[in-house]
Structure 1
Amino acid sequence: MKPLPRTARAYIVCAALGAGACALPALLPPSPASWATAGLLAALYALCELPARCRLLGRALGGSVPMGTGSFFPVLLAAALLLPPAAAALTALPGGLLARVEEPPAHWRRAWRAAATALAAWTAAHTAGALHAPAALGGPGGPDFPRALLPALAAALVFCLTLTALDGGVRATAEGLPLRTAWRGLLGRALAPHLVHGLAGLMMGVLWRSPYGPAAALLVLLPMYVSCWVFAQYHRERAAHQATIRALVQAVDIKDSYTRGHSERVGRASVLIARELGMADDRLDVVRFAGILHDVGKLGVPTRVLRKDGPLTPEERRIIELHPEYGHEMVRGIGFLGEARDAVLHHHERIDGSGYPYGLRGEQIPECARVVAVADAFDAMTSTRSYSRARPVATALAELERCAGSQFDPRMVGALARALDRYGWQTAVTADEPGTQVPAPRAPGPSAAGTTGPAEPAKTAETAEPAKTGEPA
């Protein structure tokens, strides 16, 4: 387990102290009505979080319970509309401390969740109060619609902005990311759900103030819990997808030890390129899957050919060059992979049309395949394997740039260069265990050992006909 950096711990402590200072006035004797409402909402929020924490209750509810999805934020937003800011902040603390966390360190994560939600509820309550939410929620004549929508949506917006700002800060301190990178995408993903939660919180607040009282307000949580269950099912399905991909990659790694870890790094480099190109978030996962699975077709190549220690015969070379088609056949029926399946088939095509299996050129090659081709070659050059030593990142980039326009798409090469300049790259051993002495590289020539990525640029670029004389990957 990687220890939490001191800066992240200090950040969480500061957030916790701030949340405590915001909630402290609520512990001073307020009006009885505020005590009762705050206590009931705090208990309700904690009760909503409890099934995810308690395995027994989780099984009783079907095994698919929400875990930190924000599906119960309407309770906190109702508190922001009904209560003073300090009481609203206090409402968030018990549920945040009870929340289930999946990754260590659990106590730091719970403290962070409690502090962040308390601060968000406090700012949302201040916003709602400034817009006179309590008066709009209900009175002798009932709620004032549509006037009540403004404080509810404004409170939800401020709640969302506070959470995303705080989450970006903790990501920056915990992972060492620039603030801009840590905040990227957080608001876009959270805004629409939080606005929906704001409307649900408004419904809870109106029913709470109605003659039917708090019991009627609980009805709002039923559709929210159903949506949460659907969300949990989605995550279970996603976890099953990840397990499928891991199983395929592990099978390739076992069969071809030269590629150990290579697939995961190609997936990571592919995402760097795709993000630099501005691809949408939903495509980033597809590109990562494509990078991870690009060599899955090696399962269809005889092991004796993959591990052959010496030059390949023309027949063996033809067998090796079938692995993209084998891979495409293996993943063709996996619907969630989307365009990643085309990348598996075409990641050895070249811009000048000299690649395989179909000799596509330029824009005929799917964009995802062009991304993976660059990521694959880059990792092949920067990883130490039993038949070649790793090259420095700068040398590998220079070789990719030399081959841009003939073997690789220049746009993808440029995107990788910019991403590496911004984030750097951690090289790792591919086929040799730590501490194993790496033998000197063998003389160049088409061998089975050289079939772990697309034809290595240093060798293919130095030949007149890279598709014919370079090493296949």
Structure 2
Amino acid sequence: MKPLPRTARAYIVCAALGAGACALPALLPPSPTPWATAGLLAALYALCELPARCRLLGRAPGGTSPLGAGSFFPVLLAAALLLPPAAAALTALPGGLLARVEEPPAHWRRAWRAAATALAAWAAARTAGALHAPAALGGPAGPDFPRALLSALAAALVFCLTLTALDGGVRATADGLPLRTALRRGLLGRALAPHLVHGLAGLMMGVLWRSPYGPAAALLVLLPMYVSCWVFAQYHRERAAHQATIRALVQAVDIKDSYTRGHSERVGHASVLIARELGMEGDRLDVVRFAGILHDVGKLGVPTRVLRKDGPLTPEERRIIELHPEYGHEMIRGIGFLGEARDAVLHHHERIDGSGYPYGLRGEQIPECARVVAVADAFDAMTSTRSYSRARPVATALAELERCAGSQFDPRMVGALVRALDRYGWQSAVTADEPGTQVPAPRAPGPGAAGTTGAAGPAQSAEAATTGEPA
């Protein structure tokens, strides 16, 4: 466990003292705090944090909490609209101290979350008060919606900006980052839109709270909003688990076949470029990217002595190499979210003319996703320096793909790649065992290999036999 630096501890202490100073006026006489409203809102916010501490409700299958502390802010934003600033800060403290903490040191993290949310709630309430939000929420003539809406959005914006600034400061002190870098990695980009939505929910709670129906009606807004946030958090936790699964598989391949390190990620990127030109979008793009990244995962099933062999392959060794698409398909067959990416892993070495492997499919028999990956794989193989060949210029690689279109590759996929690279360009890369190492000079190809890959003769090297470069 990495210890928390002294600067970070001092920063958290200062934030806690600041939060205490903001909340203290609510406790001193004569206090204008409406204790019934403040107490109920503080209890509601604390109640919203409790499921994250429950193993049954608050944890995803992987054992982590889908609801981070402070993930549900409508109650605090409603408090910012309904209460004086000091009372709004006070409502954040119980929930922050009860929040679930995944990593040690727990007491420092809880203190930080309580202090940060209290300071953000105080700043949001000051903003709302300056815009006369309490009066706009309700009166004899009912709520003044234009002014109340402006107050709620402004309060949510200040709430988000305050949390972002505080988060940047704690990142800078805890991780030793420059403040600008810490702020750039902070919450604003990914949290602004959710906070504005939470601000609207807080506005609805505030209006209903001030209505003749009272706090009970406000809970009708809170419950469905909370359930929606919980489901949304579960969805993102599941996506994060998917990404972690794929990263682990790719890292395993890179360790085993270090000469093609980075190749899988680049094939995934090139596959997405092609897919976008073909009009694919949304989840289909994710599937194509997964297919490109995982296309060579079957190398994990190939013996290392064969995979790293420098000299020509024997016919038996070549048959072993050509099993890697089937190995890969078998390895990921049970991963449901990959969808048709599994077929792409199995068929990315098939050829349009039927001369590929493992099943000799031809034309439209080859899944579309596999035809995309085949072109992306060949393109990156040609534009990267390998142990058996120097990188070719992008224009030369595209010309070679066009020459082989209709026999080895689908012409539609080749044309899409050409258009995409005209628009976005491409960063060629050297793939060697370690960054900065010298790449070996190209080896002379064995008889029948023609210095290329794909379905060339049996004298191919192991590395060449697992890439898609045209023959």
- What TM-score, normalized to structure 1? 0.63
How far is the alpha carbon of 1:77 from its aligned partner? Answer: 0.3
Aligned-pair distance for 1:139? 1.5
Matches of 1:204 and 1:440, distance apart in 2: 69
Shift of 1:18: 2.0
Q: Comparing 382-391 with 115-124, which one deviates more in the overlay?
A: 382-391
Report Cα offsets for 1:117-140 as digits up to 9, x if no partner.
Answer: 111111111110111001101122
From the superposition, tell whether residues 419 and 209 of structure 1 become closer, same or farther in structure 2 (CA, over 3 Å): same
- Render the CA deviation track for 1:111-159: whole Å, top value 9, x for unaligned: 2211211111111111101110011011222212232111011111111
1:382-433 CA-partner distances (Å, limit 9, x unpaired): 9999999999999999999999999999999999999999999999999999
Check 1:100–1:91 CA distance in 2 against 1; reply closer, same or farther (3 A cut): same
Q: How many angstroms apart in 2 are the aligned matches of 1:166 and 1:398?
A: 53
Are residue 399 (structure 1) and residue 397 (structure 2) matched? no
Distance 2:176 2:371 in 1: 30
Q: Alignment partner of 2:66: what SS?
A: coil
Instruction: Render the CA deviation track for 1:247-294: whole Å, top value 9, x for unaligned.
Output: 756986998899999999999999999999999999999899678745
Point out where structure 1 has 5 or more consecutive residues left out of the alignment: none
The answer on whether the counterparts of 2:313 and 2:461 sit within 8 Å (CA) in structure 1 is no
Separation of aligned partners in 2, 1:62 and 1:463:
41
- 3-state secondary structure, aligned to 2:145: coil
Closer/same/farther in 2, CA of residues 469 and 244 from structure 1, 3 Å limit:
closer
Q: Once the 2 structures are TM-superposed, how far is the Cα of residue 233 of structure 1 from its aligned partner?
A: 3.0
Deviation at 1:34, TM superposition (A): 2.2
| Cα shift at 1:187 | 2.3
Does the 8 Å contact 1:463/1:470 carry over to 2? no
**Measured at CA, do residues 6 and 378 of structure 1 come closer, stay the same or move farther in structure 2, by a change above 3 Å?**
farther
90-99 vs 363-372, which deviates more? 363-372
The 3 A distance-change label for structure 1 pair 90 and 465 is closer
How much has 1:375 moved relative to structure 2? Answer: 14
1:226, CA displacement in angstroms?
1.5
Q: Does the aligned pair in 2 maintain the 1:41–1:75 contact within 8 Å?
A: yes
Larger radius of gyration: 2
Residue 391 of structure 1 aligns to a residue whose secondary structure is: coil
Which residue of 2 is the match for residue 37 of structure 1? Answer: 37
Matches of 1:6 and 1:109, distance apart in 2: 14
Q: Cα distance, 1:320 vs. partner?
A: 3.0
Alignment check: 8 A CA contact 1:7 1:173 kept = yes
Say if 1:381 and 1:456, in contact at 8 Å, map to a contact too. Answer: no
1:9 Cα deviation after fit: 2.9
Contact in 2 for aligned 1:156/1:195 (Cα 8 Å): yes
RMSD, aligned CA: 7.7
Q: Are residues 266 and 429 of structure 1, via their aligned partners in 2, closer, same or farther at CA, if it must alter by over 3 Å?
A: same
Cα offsets for 1:62-87 (capped at 9, x unmatched): 99975227553110001100111111
CA distance, structure 1, for counterparts of residue 5 and residue 283 of structure 2:
30
Report the alpha carbon displacement of residue 6 of structure 1 after superposing the two structures with TM: 3.5
Identity of aligned residues (%): 95
1:225 match: secondary structure? helix
Question: How far did 1:219 drift?
Answer: 1.6
Specify whether residues 58 and 405 from structure 1 end up closer, same or farther in structure 2 by C-alpha distance, changes over 3 A only. same
Report the Cα distance in structure 1 between the residues aligned to 2:361 and 2:6, rounded to whole angstroms.
Answer: 52
| Residues 361, 9 of structure 1: alpha-carbon distance in 2 compared, 3 angstrom cutoff | farther
1:23-64 superposed Cα distances (whole Å, 9 cap, x missing partner): 222221244652332222112111111121244775999999
Q: Which moved more, 1:294-303 or 1:124-133?
A: 294-303
Q: How many residues were matched structurally?
A: 469
- Greater Cα offset, 135-144 or 24-33: 24-33
Residues 33, 173 of structure 1: alpha-carbon distance in 2 compared, 3 angstrom cutoff? closer
Q: Return the alpha-carbon distance in structure 2 between the equivalents of residues 176 and 377 of structure 1.
A: 42
Greater shift in the superposed pair: 246-255 or 384-393: 384-393
Alignment check: 8 A CA contact 1:311 1:448 kept: no
1:3 CA drift (Å): 2.5
Provide TM-score, normalisation by structure 2: 0.63
User: Hey, what does 1:263 align to over in structure 2?
Assistant: 264
CA shift in 2, pair 1:196/1:472, >3 Å: same
